[in-house]
Each structure stands twice: as structure tokens, then as C-alpha cells.
A and B are shown apart, each in its own frame.
Chain A
């Protein structure tokens, strides 16, 4: 019993951390730019494809592949930001945002399908991460611990970035009051672009690190999008601790459901979502607007 609970807990945390790394970018974008970006998952997928390419075809090492995936995804995404996303920051109605970002996701899926084919692309792990680790009560794949470590580091670094740097101060000012920030001379357009790059980079990072749990294939872009959106909503848009809490809670709901009643699929996960939204409509740690 205890052993099962510990097992579920570990899997839940590693899954939750992957969800966190990917979703936090979406959450920050939603908090700052008020954009419901349904193409966020597509950028994670691009990161996964780039890493797979770097490892298998270009023969780069794992750390370099991650760096390439993150930077490459940002380079691909920035022109899209310049041409399309800029039009919908803060002002557009929800339906227009949904339509535009679903459109972007569709195009990326179509192109990925055309270039990479419909099959799953693996991201070979380095020897250090591919083996199991003995925790005493069970063996756990090393990459899961790696994912947890990445999640903790991401949360810590983001907190430092937002709490302690000039960028973070401007970011928070703009989240709290965009017009005021503009009046104070904060160049919101540059701030938005930088935030977008940060969000997309995090998405790509999470896509690579989480590829063992969320395998890279063309429909990745929409398949997991729903889960990312749920994390943001449950955590409260723009809140880092909220996103951490939501990721772990939802990871727990999903893992427990799949352990104890696998034949019910995602049933218990979404039941948990409905309950949480009812209990905390502004997010677990969200502020009331």
C-alpha cells in the first residue's frame, strides 16, 4: 500500500514537472498578453523534433541538442510572433484568438506531418539518463528524476528572473496594469516579444525533457494542448506557484487514475478538473480580479 502510494507519488511528480515546464510559458503569456495560445503545444513539438534531429542526424550530444532545440524553436517562432501574435495581444476577443492560434497549430501539424512523417520520433537519451535508478523501494528510470530536477530548476530560475531582475519588475508592472506601464515608459512591445520568446523556449525545453512521457508525433500539438490549458486554468494564469501546484495535483489525478482504474482512461483526471474549477474558479493560488 505504502509502496504503491510512493510509486504513484513519484510518477505523479515527474509527470507533473514536465507539465509544469511546458505549461508555465503558456501561463505567463496568458497572464501578460491575455492570449489563449492553442499553438503552444506545437512549439513543444517543434523543440522535440529539433532535438531528435540534432541527436540522430547531426550527432550532437544531449546538452547541445537541448540548447539547439530551445534556440531553434525561438528562431522559428519569432517571425510568427511578429506577423501574427502581435495582432491579438490584450485586445482581441477570445474567439479570434482561438481561431488564429488553432490555425497556427494546424499549419505546424501539417508541415511536421509532411516533413517528418506521421510516426513517433524518438529522442535517444544519454547513457547516464537511460538506465534505471534504485531508490530502495523500487527502480525508477533515471530520466524521470532528470525531469523532476529540470522542473525544480525551471521554477527556481523563473522565480529569480521574475522576482529579482529588471525584466521581472517590468513584467509584473505590465501584468498588473498594462496602460500604466506604457505610460511609465516601459516598452511593452519589446517586453511582449521577450516574454513570447521565453514562453516558446520553455515549451521547447519541456517538449524535449518530457518526450519519454509525451511522445513526439505530429498530433502532439493538439493532443496534449487540452492538458496544458487545464494546468494554466487550475493554477491561475501568470502564477508560478499556482502552476507548480496545479501540475503536481493534475499529475497526481492522472497517475492515480491510470494506476487504479486504467480502463477509465482520462475520466478521473477530468472529474478532478471539474471539481477544482468549481472549488477554485480563479485558480488554486490565483487572485480574484
Chain B
């Protein structure tokens, strides 16, 4: 009988505010909070947003499709270098740069996806690492394109829509980044609920069963890698546009590992989880590593262990179950 009531409950929710609109409202609120809390450090927030895009991108392949990867920063970094070079070559329109970065990300995503998703388990993980390290070694070698260990600097993008210049306080950069993040997030909300998104979740659950309903698993995973590449590429472009420099750290193994940590911290398999994980981790990093860089690694390590022990599905599901429990406790008292 309880099932019937559940189904009826679900109907008004569908008629009420669409998910997309709610997402926009929540993210605008978060962005405003960020602006109030860190008015003098908008550069930190814009960096946070570009990394958040990398984590969202990782969520698409790891959280939604079950592909474990420790080489995702390759896509992010290649796009950042592409955008940097394009800008240095004289193409400075930020929107054009963003499109170029997304395109570079898509190509890089399709290529690495075609390699990595052929396998499962340990070979898959190792291939993802190898692809990442290959790109990192190339970035170091091709210093004509990347500036080698000095990095690519002097990237100065033009005005947004030809009107808003990137100022030294980072206000334009912040608003621009928030807008990009919101657009990407809303589009992703739609993609993960599409038939394609549903199929990817099914592949993650059991890829043989997915084949047994007629799904072509490999091409779908490569396609998802392409979509993921677009998102990581946009993240890399934003990083290049906002900071004006691209260094070897953007293709590093550490960047990939950190992104994975942020994802699992927030809750893989949920876009909100990816977003919350990247915010919590980076704000935490911002304070702790500023206070005592020596203890930063220890603290993060302890945090990760605590998450595995006490919130194995990530912070978001933990928060949901906690608020649920508090709410029901309040209700039973009333």
C-alpha cells in the first residue's frame, strides 16, 4: 500500500518547479555566498569553478558510467594549452576560446575514451594513468607549445561580448565563470536524465546485462567520454582565461588524483555530489594549507579515511540521510 502513496507523492513534484530552475536558483545563491565570503579572493573562487568542472566531467565517466580513471587531467590540460596558444596567436574573444577549448576537450575525450573503455578493472585504471602520463611527458617536451616547466604565460583574453573586460579584482572572471558553470550544470542535468544517461548508469551496474538488452556498450562509453571531454575542456579553458597562465600542474597525475578524491568525497554518481565535493575539498584546502601546509596532506588523508569509514557513499548522501533523520525526529516530536 505504501507504494501507491509514494507514486502519488511523486506527481505534484513533477508539476512543481522544474529541476533545472531549482538548480539555477541554488547555484546563484551559492555564487552570491561565495562573493560575500571571499570578496578579496575571487581568483580562488574562479579556480574552484574550473576544477569543479573537471570533477563534474570525471563524474560523468566514473560516477555515471563506472570507468575508473586516474588520468582525467590530461583532457583538462590539453584544452587549457590549446586555449592559451589560440589566445597568444591573437584570438582573444573569451566565448570563442571557450568553444575552442570545448572542442579540444571533446577530441581528447573521444581519443582517450576509445583507448581506456576497451578494458575493465586494473588494466583500465593503468591505461588511464598511462594516457595521462603520456600527455604530461609530451607537455614537458613540447616546450614550444607549452612553455615546458616555465608554463605558458601572458594569456590575456579580450572583453566578454566585447563589453566586459577582465579586471584585476577578478569580478568579470567570477561572473563569467559562474555563468558558464550554471549553463554546463543545467545541460548536464538534462544529459544524465536522458535515455543515454540512463543507459550509462545501467552499463555501470552490469555491462553484460546491458549488452543483453541490445546496448552497444563500447560506443556509448566513448560517447560519454566525449561529453565528459567537453566539460573538462571548458574547465581547462576557464582556468587559462582566468589565470592567464597554464602550467604543467594542469596535466599532472596529482590533479587527476585530487579530482577523483573530490568526486568520491562529495558522492560519485550525482552531479550535486561532484559539485559539493569540489567546493568542500577546495575550501578546506584553502584554509588548512594556508594555516599550515605541513599538515595539509595529513588532514586531507584523515578526511578521506573518515569519509570511507563514516560516509562511504560521499558527503551528499550522508547529508541527505542526516537531514531526513532530523526532519523525521522533529515530525515525530510535533
Distance A103 CA – B312 CA, assembled complex (angstroms): 13
B208 within 8 Å of A by Cβ?
Answer: no
> Quick check: which of B41-49, B174-182, B294-302 contacts chain A, the rest being far away?
B294-302
Interface positions of A from 74 to 117, Cβ below 8 Å from B: 84, 87, 94-96, 98-100, 102-111, 113-114
| Chain A residues, CB < 8 A from B136 | 266
B140 within 8 Å of A by Cβ?
Answer: yes
> Quick check: which of B125-133, B156-164, B192-200, B210-218 contacts chain A, the rest being far away?
B125-133
| Chain B residues, CB < 8 A from A134 | none
Known contacts A226-B253, A270-B137, A274-B130: A109-B297 contact under CB 8 Å: yes
B102 within 8 Å of A by Cβ?
Answer: no
Please tell me if the beta carbons of A100 and B130 are within 8 angstroms of each other in the complex. Answer: no
B264 within 8 Å of A by Cβ?
Answer: yes
| Chain A residues, CB < 8 A from B133 | 226, 266, 270
| Chain B residues, CB < 8 A from A18 | none
Interface positions of B from 277 to 334, Cβ below 8 Å from A: 294-305, 307-309, 312
Secondary structure at the B interface, as helix, strand, loop or mixed, is: helix
Distance A36 CA – B257 CA, assembled complex (angstroms): 14
**Least Cβ–Cβ distance between A106 and chain B, in angstroms:** 3
Please tell me if the beta carbons of A103 and B295 are within 8 angstroms of each other in the complex. Answer: no
| Chain B residues, CB < 8 A from A114 | 294-295, 298
| Chain A residues, CB < 8 A from B129 | 226, 229-230
Known contacts A274-B134, A277-B126: A113-B294 contact under CB 8 Å: yes
Please tell me if the beta carbons of B125 and A277 are within 8 angstroms of each other in the complex. Answer: no
Please tell me if the beta carbons of A265 and B260 are within 8 angstroms of each other in the complex. Answer: no
Distance A84 CA – B305 CA, assembled complex (angstroms): 8
Mark contacts of B112-135 with chain A using CB atoms, 8 A cut-off: 1 yes-contact digit, 0 otherwise.
000100110111011101110110
Q: Which residue of B lies closest to A99 (CB)?
A: B264
Known contacts A106-B300, A107-B297, A274-B127: A98-B122 contact under CB 8 Å: no
| Chain B residues, CB < 8 A from A96 | 264, 308, 312
Known contacts A222-B254, A273-B126: A100-B304 contact under CB 8 Å: yes
Please tell me if the beta carbons of B305 and A30 are within 8 angstroms of each other in the complex. Answer: no
Distance A273 CA – B71 CA, assembled complex (angstroms): 14
| Chain B residues, CB < 8 A from A274 | 115, 127, 130-131, 134
Known contacts A102-B304, A265-B140, A270-B133: A94-B68 contact under CB 8 Å: yes
Residue with the greatest number of chain A CB neighbours at <10 A, chosen from B122, B129, B130, B312: B122
Please tell me if the beta carbons of A110 and B295 are within 8 angstroms of each other in the complex. Answer: yes
**Least Cβ–Cβ distance between B114 and chain A, in angstroms:** 12
Q: How many residues of A contact B (CB 8 A)?
A: 43
Mark contacts of A263-274 with chain B using CB atoms, 8 A cut-off: 1 yes-contact digit, 0 otherwise.
111110011011
A237 within 8 Å of B by Cβ?
Answer: yes
Distance A266 CA – B253 CA, assembled complex (angstroms): 13
Distance A277 CA – B295 CA, assembled complex (angstroms): 38
| Chain A residues, CB < 8 A from B126 | 229-230, 233-234, 273, 277
Please tell me if the beta carbons of B123 and A106 are within 8 angstroms of each other in the complex. Answer: no
Q: Which residue of A lies closest to B298 (CB)?
A: A110
B261 within 8 Å of A by Cβ?
Answer: yes
B141 within 8 Å of A by Cβ?
Answer: yes
**Least Cβ–Cβ distance between B15 and chain A, in angstroms:** 36
| Chain A residues, CB < 8 A from B108 | none
Known contacts A96-B308, A107-B298, A107-B305: A102-B127 contact under CB 8 Å: no
B251 within 8 Å of A by Cβ?
Answer: no
**Least Cβ–Cβ distance between A105 and chain B, in angstroms:** 7
A54 within 8 Å of B by Cβ?
Answer: no
Known contacts A99-B308, A222-B254, A273-B126: A106-B298 contact under CB 8 Å: yes
Q: Which residue of A lies closest to B254 (CB)?
A: A222
| Chain A residues, CB < 8 A from B302 | 103, 107
| Chain A residues, CB < 8 A from B242 | none
A215 within 8 Å of B by Cβ?
Answer: no
Q: Which of B131, B265, B304 contacts A106 (CB 8 A)?
A: B304
| Chain B residues, CB < 8 A from A232 | 122
A241 within 8 Å of B by Cβ?
Answer: no
14 further A-B pairs in the complex, CB-CB below 8 A; given A98-B70, A98-B264: A36-B122, A98-B260, A103-B307, A104-B301, A105-B301, A114-B294, A114-B298, A232-B122, A233-B125, A233-B126, A264-B137, A270-B131, A274-B130, A278-B118
Q: Which residues of A contact B (CB under 8 A)?
A: 30, 36, 84, 87, 94-96, 98-100, 102-111, 113-114, 222, 226, 229-230, 232-234, 237, 263-267, 270-271, 273-274, 277-278, 281-282
Q: Which residues of B contact A (CB under 8 A)?
A: 62, 68, 70, 115, 118-119, 121-123, 125-127, 129-131, 133-134, 136-138, 140-141, 253-254, 257, 260-261, 264-265, 268, 294-305, 307-309, 312
**Would you list 20 pairs from A and B whose C-beta atoms are within 8 A, ordered by A residue?**
A94-B68, A98-B70, A98-B264, A99-B264, A99-B265, A100-B304, A103-B300, A103-B305, A104-B305, A107-B301, A107-B302, A107-B305, A233-B122, A263-B141, A265-B140, A266-B133, A267-B134, A270-B134, A270-B137, A281-B123
